[in-house]
Amino acid sequence: MISEIAIIVVCMVVAIALLITEVFFIPGITLAGLGGAAAAIGGIWYAYQVSTLTGHVTVIASLAGFALVFFWFLRSRSFRKLELTADIPSKVVSNLEQGIRVGDQGVTVSRLASVGKANINGKIVEVKSETGWTDENQPVVVTRIEDNYIWVK
């Protein structure tokens, strides 16, 4: 009986360790996750082979153990070293902040196959063509600005 309990405990500890490794260190579906799932299924199956009560106790204990380790891992200070704490001070510059207005003229820098680049007021910006297809180095006029898109004709 002692050896059976030892096998079940080892399977469940390995399962919890591999699943925690999968969640926190190598996310995605990897061998750690698959190995953890296999160890958990094998340990629970073996526990139910011993007896139904042992199986029930194993399921409850392994779920509680996984939850405890998971929350302990989230709360531990060593995990804080892995977090991204840098602030990004940059921001997106809107077309209104660039000083582009309806009626401004410019030249296409790239082909506008509905969307492309144009030089308007000395600034290279992304524009949408109202006419569909416009070749490179063609004059364009800003017809409207909505939802941070510059429409040209």
Enter the tokens of residue 138.
């063609």
Query: What region, left, alpha or beta, does residue 137 occupy, with left being phi > 0 and alpha being psi -120 to 50 degrees?
Result: left
pLDDT in tens, 96-129: 667 788 899 999 999 988 899 999 988 888 899 8
- Model confidence at 84, pLDDT cuts 50, 70, 90, reads confident
pLDDT in tens, 19-73: 888 887 887 778 888 999 999 999 999 999 999 999 999 999 999 999 998 888 7
Positive or negative, the Cα torsion across 135, 140, 142, 144?
A: negative
Enter the tokens of residue 108.
């296409």
pLDDT of residue 47: 93
> Is the Cβ–Cβ distance between 90 and 114 less than 8 Å?
no
Round to whole Å and give the CA distance between 135 and 115: 11
Residue identified by tokens 């011993």 is 50
DSSP string, 69-84: HHHHHHH-HHHHTTS-
pLDDT of residue 35: 92
